[in-house]
């Protein structure tokens, strides 16, 4: 999935990345390893956040911050701080897109840079919608990657 997503995204050199529902942090780690300048990993589960920290140390990647908090709270804080992101990776647990869709639609646009891309991973049956321009939506087995632009 990472390879498929990054082939759709293209180069990320120097990008500021926001990895929401980060899990193990695989997507954000991939962005950093491909030259992104920074990544804010957001994962509310403390065990998963520890895995992200361990992976960052193991891979010796810099420019990362791990926030063990709720996605909505982080999006509000980042907006209040005036931070903007070039690439946002959104991978809520499968089956939970609907639970988070309204909050993401409301809060996500405020933290996007002018030419930002948003990459959403869901189950293949879910057509993610956000108040952004749809770039593409592709199925990969039981998953779907949907890319939006600002």
Domain boundaries, the chain: 2-96+107-149
pLDDT band at 2 (very low <50, low <70, confident <90, very high): confident
% of the chain surpassing 70 pLDDT: 100
pLDDT at 138 over 90: yes
**pTM more than 0.85:** yes
Query: 100-127: per-residue pLDDT in tens?
Result: 999 999 999 999 999 999 999 999 999 9
pLDDT at 1 over 80: no
SS3 sequence of the chain: CHHHHHHHHCCCCCCEEEEECCCCCHHHHHHHHCCCCEEEEECCCHHHHHHHHHHHHHHCCCCEEEECCCHHHHHHHHHHCCCCEEEEEECCCCCCHHHHHHHHHHHHHHHEEEEEEEEEEEECCCCCCCCCEEEEEEEECCEEEEEEEC
At the topology level, CATH places domain 2-96+107-149 in: Rossmann fold (3.40.50)
Cβ atoms of 18 and 42 closer than 8 Å: yes
Instruction: For 26-66, write each residue's pLDDT tens digit.
Output: 999 999 999 999 999 999 999 999 999 999 999 998 899 99
């Amino acid at each position: 999935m990472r390879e498929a997503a990054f082939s759709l995204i293209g180069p990320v050199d120097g990008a500021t990345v926001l990895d929401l529902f980060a899990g193990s942090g695989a997507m954000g780690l991939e962005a950093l390893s491909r030259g992104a300048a920074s990544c804010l990993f957001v994962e509310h589960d403390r065990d998963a956040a520890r895995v992200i920290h361990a992976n960052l140390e193991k891979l010796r990647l810099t420019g990362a911050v791990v926030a063990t908090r709720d996605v909505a709270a982080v999006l509000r804080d980042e907006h209040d701080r005036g931070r903007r992101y070039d690439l946002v990776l959104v991978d809520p647990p499968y089956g939970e897109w609907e639970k988070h869709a309204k909050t993401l639609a409301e809060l996500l646009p405020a933290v996007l840079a002018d030419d930002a891309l948003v990459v959403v991973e869901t189950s293949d049956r879910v057509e993610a919608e956000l108040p952004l321009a749809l770039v593409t939506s592709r199925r990969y087995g039981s998953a779907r990657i949907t890319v939006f632009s600002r």
